[in-house]
């Protein structure tokens, strides 16, 4: 049995098919962990969702900012962008089934393989959060999204404030910080104040900010942390830090990292396929 971490698909269903062919994926034997942004900007978001739904428990998926954007549009909480490519879902006869499935996906996943904890998020983790706390906070947002009235929160989700974590936060403000960290974070200060305007690579950090995974004393430094979201960062393999958004929808590659326990040791192998659908970043 192999476990595969897969970066941002963003509606590139044909690239996903080629990647799964390349790794000889079998849903009866293997498990996929998709790190969010399943939909949008690519040509076949509906095809991606239908494929993953069909794999059942063999496809474990995170929600990214584009996935939440789709849910917000579907619930009338957000207007579509001119760059969106979501109509194949919004106008589909099985729209409700796809949206209900998407609402049931997770905001963070913690797995153990060969004695190694692997924490998966779409974008980032604030430096004061432990892996256990991250999962607990993710569960709070998941409960809201799975409630009978998620639209109320989705209408309040889009704001950059508060820009730091405070355990005393409640309601929409609390959930907004959690969502922003897990689905939008790239840079923050050593004390965890988030910044959302810079989208370049590590070298693009604004003055006083660091890539979130370089903050000294980060509480998740002792676990393997895998994320997507950051296409300008690309594939990154550091000690306990794995970045897997290799810019498929922008003409880059779709990446899968195979993790397998061999003789009690965690082995990893990167597999990539070139994406044939190139969009302009934005």
Report the CATH number at residue 223. Answer: 3.60.21.10
The overall average pLDDT reported for the chain is: 95
Q: Is 280 within the bounds of a domain?
A: no
Q: Is 223 within the bounds of a domain?
A: yes
Q: Which residues on adjacent β-strands are paired with residue 238? A: 241
pLDDT band at residue 264 under the 50/70/90 scheme: confident
Q: How far apart are CA 97 and CA 93, in angstroms?
A: 9
Written as one string, the DSSP assignment of 224-263 is EEEE---TTT-SEEETTEEE---BTTBTSEEEEEEEEEET
CA distances, 30 to each of 5, 39, 41, 73, 189 (Å): 11, 22, 28, 33, 38
> What is the tens place of the pLDDT at every residue in 168-191?
999 999 999 999 999 999 999 999
The residue-averaged pLDDT of 227-256 equals 96
Six token digits for residue 80: 């579509």
pTM exceeds cut of 0.75: yes
Q: How far apart are CA 203 and CA 243, in angstroms?
A: 16
Q: Is 279 within the bounds of a domain?
A: no
pLDDT of the residue at 131: 98
Q: Is 282 within the bounds of a domain?
A: no
Terminus-to-terminus CA distance in the chain, angstroms? 38
Tell me: pLDDT of 120 over 60: yes
pLDDT band at residue 277 under the 50/70/90 scheme: low
CA distances, 196 to each of 14, 67, 182, 200, 206 (Å): 31, 18, 12, 11, 10
Domain total in the chain: 1
Q: Is 72 within the bounds of a domain?
A: yes
The residue-averaged pLDDT of 197-223 equals 96
Q: Is 155 within the bounds of a domain?
A: yes
pLDDT band at residue 275 under the 50/70/90 scheme: confident
Q: Is 208 within the bounds of a domain?
A: yes
Q: Is 281 within the bounds of a domain?
A: no
The residue-averaged pLDDT of 41-67 equals 98
Range of the domain at 227: 3-274
pLDDT band at residue 250 under the 50/70/90 scheme: very high
């Amino acid at each position: 049995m192999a476990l595969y971490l897969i970066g941002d698909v963003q509606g590139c269903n044909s690239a996903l098919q080629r990647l799964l062919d390349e790794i000889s994926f079998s849903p009866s034997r293997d498990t996929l962990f998709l790190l969010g942004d399943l939909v949008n900007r690519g040509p076949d978001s509906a095809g991606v969702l239908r494929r993953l739904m069909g794999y059942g428990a063999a496809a474990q998926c995170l929600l990214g900012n584009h996935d939440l954007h789709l849910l917000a549009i579907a619930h009338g909480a957000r207007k579509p962008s001119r760059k969106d490519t979501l109509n194949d879902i919004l106008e589909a006869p099985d729209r409700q089934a796809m949206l209900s499935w998407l609402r049931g996906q997770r905001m963070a996943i913690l797995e153990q393989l060969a004695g190694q904890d692997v924490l998966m998020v779409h974008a980032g983790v604030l430096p004061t959060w432990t892996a256990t706390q991250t999962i607990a906070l993710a569960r709070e947002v998941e409960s809201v999204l799975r409630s009978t009235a998620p639209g109320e929160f989705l209408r309040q989700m889009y704001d950059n404030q508060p820009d730091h974590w405070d355990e005393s936060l409640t309601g929409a403000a609390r959930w907004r910080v959690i969502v922003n960290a897990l689905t939008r974070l790239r840079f923050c200060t050593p004390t965890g104040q988030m910044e959302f305007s810079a989208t370049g690579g590590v070298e693009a950090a604004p003055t006083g900010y660091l890539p979130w995974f370089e903050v000294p004393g980060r509480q998740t430094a002792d676990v393997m942390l895998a994320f997507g979201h950051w296409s300008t960062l690309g594939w990154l393999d550091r000690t306990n830090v794995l970045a897997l958004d290799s810019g498929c929808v922008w003409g880059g590659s779709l990446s899968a990292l195979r993790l397998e326990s061999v003789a009690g040791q965690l082995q990893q192998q990167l597999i990539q396929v070139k994406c044939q659908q190139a969009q302009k970043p934005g």
